[in-house]
Amino acid sequence: MSLPKQVRIVEVGPRDGLQNEKQATPTSAKIQLIENLVDAGLNYIEAGSFVNPKWVPQMADSGEVFSGVARKAGVTYAALTPNLQGYERAIAVGANEVAIFAAASEAFSQKNINCSISESIKRFEALIAAAKQQQIPVRGYISCVLGCPYSGAVDAEMVANIASELFAMGCYEISLGDTIGVGTAGKTKQLIETVARVIPISKIAAHMHDTYGQALANIYAALEMGISVIDSSVAGLGGCPYAVGATGNVATEDVVYLLNGLGIEHGIDLEKLIYAGNTISNILGKPTNSRVARAMSK
């Protein structure tokens, strides 16, 4: 299959990245990060999460972040929402899209959100009904699609079944998350092939973590399969609080460099993106996880 001509990047750093940083990030720094990312040309930013702050204290100020960001027309400012209550809080502060999440592993679902996969999906019914009524798009995440930290290998058919269910409920796109970064290019292709039998390839996104250094190879494999939506995190921020040893998401800078080399359009200014990543890394007092940013910042 030929590579896509254009790729949409879903920037998850302000949410999926920062929620896994050890120290709390100042609200003003989160706002600055989002505005810097928009300035670099990103038009989809996952800006916060309306989960119980007891579980994810780093996201307790998401309301203030949404209220404080200078909005730009044409940009999606999305929020992760686990239930109707979280959805209502997100909409109240102007989130113009929400994301819901299910796991492809029963063990991970229990550890992560204290319920079974089917129970977690049932919880979304009221949320999706409200979103339909208010014409708010809903994106679906499936975590642990290529492996679980507690139960090991994950069945691709299981992932396809969950994807099909979320799609039928009303999620316009399903993001397949290799939460612990154990996937390989071959496994990625097999997974996408299986999921694409039940939902259109144009509705599938790839969300790769780089624990084993395979994220870019897996993204290239996904591109070869016809995937044209990639989730990534500026400066490679984050990990997974429930997956011990899992390093961050793939760095957006590294994905953009890959796409540039393949001649695939994405609309992002790499230098401004590196600036955004280096700025937040400095605030966090740590080096960027982006290889490209390190190489180009010397």
Sign of CA dihedral 117, 120, 125, 131: negative
For the chain, percent helix, then strand, then coil, each to nearest 5?
45, 15, 35
Burial 67-85 (b: 16+ CB within 10 A, else e): ebbeeeeebbbbbbbbbbe
Q: Residue 169 contacts by C-beta under 8 Å, 6 or more apart in sequence?
A: 121, 124, 125, 128
Phi/psi at 6 (5° precision): -140, 145
Rg (CA), the chain: 17
Name the catalytic one among 144, 148, 171, 240.
Answer: 240
Are the C-beta atoms of residues 210 and 247 closer than 8 Å to each other?
Answer: yes
241 neighbors 56 (Cβ within 8 angstroms): yes
> Buried b vs exposed e over 268-278: b needs ≥16 C-beta within 10 Å?
bebebbbbbbb
Query: Regarding beta strands 229-232 and 44-49, do their DSSP bridges make them parallel or antiparallel, or are they unpaired?
Result: unpaired
> 240 an active-site residue?
yes
Question: 190, exposed or middle or buried, with CB in 10 Å at 0-12, 13-18, 19+?
Answer: middle
Q: What is the C-alpha separation between 170 and 24, in angstroms, rounded?
A: 34
Nearest to 104 by CA among 152, 139, 138: 152
User: Between the CA of residue 249 and those of 11, 127, 162, 173, 239, what are the distances in Å?
Assistant: 10, 27, 22, 19, 6
User: Which active-site residues does the annotation give?
Assistant: 240
